[in-house]
Structure 1
């Protein structure tokens, strides 16, 4: 059963993705038109999971893009000119940003409030609009479905939030990630005032997703055979294609939209059952499903990715967060089957040894043992 720790761990520490060939930009394969007004956009990060989608879409729309990061990850081959600035926010090295102006700044990787504070010292008055990628983990209570952007936020209980480091975050991510993101949001408003947009995603999936959290499901369905399915199939699932998230960020910048938004999808409710049915349509797999109770999986200490049980107590609401405000602000979604198809095409382009060992889910051996014990209990 997916826990808060799983949600936080992969949201904060997702591995870098491999470079991809040129990406499809538009919904339904349509061409991307030019923006009415070209913008100069500074992207903090830009080479991880969703950053390249932001860059490619911004270039297609006619914007000028500057990236700021440590230069540790290989950059994809951009379909246009991209300025690259280097520095390290961990050490406060932001010299390459000094004396520069941009219309928009998109802050992708920040989980620590002092990163926002230090960026504000350099960029305040030099950017017209600041967009911050946060997380639905900022909410204090995740137990009830329908969480809106106005729900209370998690409270930091440490000694000094500005002294927290990535090492501290990794060591106590379950208690620190949400509260530190919430304080980072507050610091963004302190530094940049009213021209701030806070975007709170949940599970981000699709091509470039190196966590394999969602990939586990179409990959497993494609294998067929006797398959363990958590719950009765009715539990809600929320995911968003990284391309939909990245492209929407650029449209928010173009429109000058401010405020707080839950960036979760799809547009219509998705259950575990319909999630797996879509995986079957795309992959052609023909597994035999055996539904196993949440209580059994909890007893066996088994965590399955993406799935959040209605019995998950303080986490039950993570599968049914309200996205109404984001949709009203222009968030759109590719068809679910398109996300699955493109994800698997990307996954199958990875080296064979990488495909052989998924980074989330359970092994076939674990699955077989669990099913054997479950059937023994049920007298099947």
Structure 2
């Protein structure tokens, strides 16, 4: 039920995330963040979207110096320390504020276009010791088989000129361009910055600040109780990673100078659809009655969107719920309990304006769900 079109659609929504004053929430009882052995001068391209603020907060807590580069279109949170802000626009090639500066590390968060990496390289190559690029599991050519790992073949660009692609052309053909252009962006990173490159490939990023409502749909619906439609038999694999786990790990990768390519998917151990829902129950207190329906029924009913869930029968996307994260775990990626992610997500969501909470941006409405359940029960009668 998930396609590359969905992934980019929701990535665009995530880029519009509202500010979040605190990154701790229910995590406040966690161990205090220790200082890094060696403070770094870190440049973050972006930094005010979904995961960027988690990177900034964690980097400051670790004693690093942080500089942000972006267009200044979104308000910045109130940082718990000094953060330098540089302005420019990568769409137009305006990177003048970066010229003549040096940083130990550059973290590139928002890039989906190869020319953004090329232009950054023209200004930063030789002035940055380590370049970390956030990519996506959508770069893989074949997403149909569970166990996708970092050495699998990547999607091939079939357009005329990858460097001429823009955000408009990407949006116009998202399903065919998103993965291949991300793959070419990775290649351009290595071309511009040489061996000192780290590629991180997340799947679904969730938790507080997530404006897409992809994951939020499930705990929100569980909390409401009553009869609840669940796709599949409950055994389909699910992979999500808390944005804080991703953001903080990026800083630790920078501190360690870790190079290579990593699938940043979670949780640590396999999770099923029913397992995810039970975690939502424990976190929200909701006690719905689950009614599992088949993928074939949903297809017949023309249900286009039940987020996060990927059916084992989903053809080219069947492997997206079971991507290998062994290499990332070996490189120090750690995970909060899913219940913590759900608790913090719902606390953040319920702090949003009433009109924002009124209509979720993903999933189906209660009216649609009721109609589907009625049709399902009629078929089984």
Q: Tell me the distance in 1 between the aligned counterparts of 2:47 and 2:183.
A: 22
Q: Tell me the distance in 2 between the aligned counterparts of 1:50 and 1:93.
A: 24
Classify the secondary structure of the residue corresponding to 1:178.
helix
Aligned to 1:339: 341
Q: Tell me the distance in 2 between the aligned counterparts of 1:71 and 1:343.
A: 26
1:324 aligns with 2:332: no
Cα deviations by residue, 1:24-49 (Å, 9 ceiling, x for unpaired) = 29796110010000000000000000
Q: Tell me the distance in 2 between the aligned counterparts of 1:271 and 1:320.
A: 10
Counterpart contact for 2:4–2:174, Cα < 8 Å: no
Count of residue pairs the alignment pairs up:
379
Counterpart contact for 2:140–2:179, Cα < 8 Å: yes
Counterpart contact for 1:28–1:334, Cα < 8 Å: no
Q: Tell me the distance in 1 between the aligned counterparts of 2:315 and 2:262.
A: 24
Aligned to 2:178: 177
Counterpart contact for 1:22–1:78, Cα < 8 Å: no
Q: Tell me the distance in 1 between the aligned counterparts of 2:92 and 2:6.
A: 28
Aligned to 1:371: 373
Counterpart contact for 1:22–1:77, Cα < 8 Å: no
Q: Tell me the distance in 1 between the aligned counterparts of 2:17 and 2:125.
A: 31
Aligned to 2:74: 73
TM-aligned CA deviation for residue 286 of structure 1 = 1.4
TM-aligned CA deviation for residue 13 of structure 1 = 4.8
Aligned to 1:113: 114
Cα deviations by residue, 1:354-380 (Å, 9 ceiling, x for unpaired) = 00100000000000011111111111x
Cα deviations by residue, 1:217-262 (Å, 9 ceiling, x for unpaired) = 0000001111100001000000000000000000000000000000
Counterpart contact for 1:41–1:105, Cα < 8 Å: yes
Aligned to 2:357: 355
Cα deviations by residue, 1:79-103 (Å, 9 ceiling, x for unpaired) = 0000000000000000000000000
Classify the secondary structure of the residue corresponding to 1:198.
strand
Counterpart contact for 1:213–1:361, Cα < 8 Å: yes
Q: Tell me the distance in 2 between the aligned counterparts of 1:152 and 1:28.
A: 42
Cα deviations by residue, 1:50-103 (Å, 9 ceiling, x for unpaired) = 000000000000000000000000000000000000000000000000000000
Aligned to 1:280: 281
- Further displaced range: 327-336 or 3-12: 3-12
Classify the secondary structure of the residue corresponding to 2:292.
strand
TM-aligned CA deviation for residue 276 of structure 1 = 0.5
Q: Tell me the distance in 2 between the aligned counterparts of 1:4 and 1:318.
A: 11
Classify the secondary structure of the residue corresponding to 2:69.
strand
TM-aligned CA deviation for residue 296 of structure 1 = 1.0
Counterpart contact for 1:4–1:315, Cα < 8 Å: no
Cα deviations by residue, 1:132-181 (Å, 9 ceiling, x for unpaired) = 00000000000000000000000000000000000011111000000000
Counterpart contact for 2:4–2:178, Cα < 8 Å: no
Aligned to 1:17: 17
Aligned to 1:224: 225
1:312 aligns with 2:314: yes
1:5-154 mapped onto 2 (5 Å cutoff):
5-24=5-24, 29-154=30-155
**Aligned-pair RMSD on alpha carbons?**
1.1
Aligned to 2:245: 244
Q: Tell me the distance in 2 between the aligned counterparts of 1:242 and 1:68.
A: 20
TM-aligned CA deviation for residue 12 of structure 1 = 4.8
Q: Tell me the distance in 2 between the aligned counterparts of 1:18 and 1:341.
A: 18
Aligned to 2:168: 167
Q: Tell me the distance in 1 between the aligned counterparts of 2:153 and 2:181.
A: 14
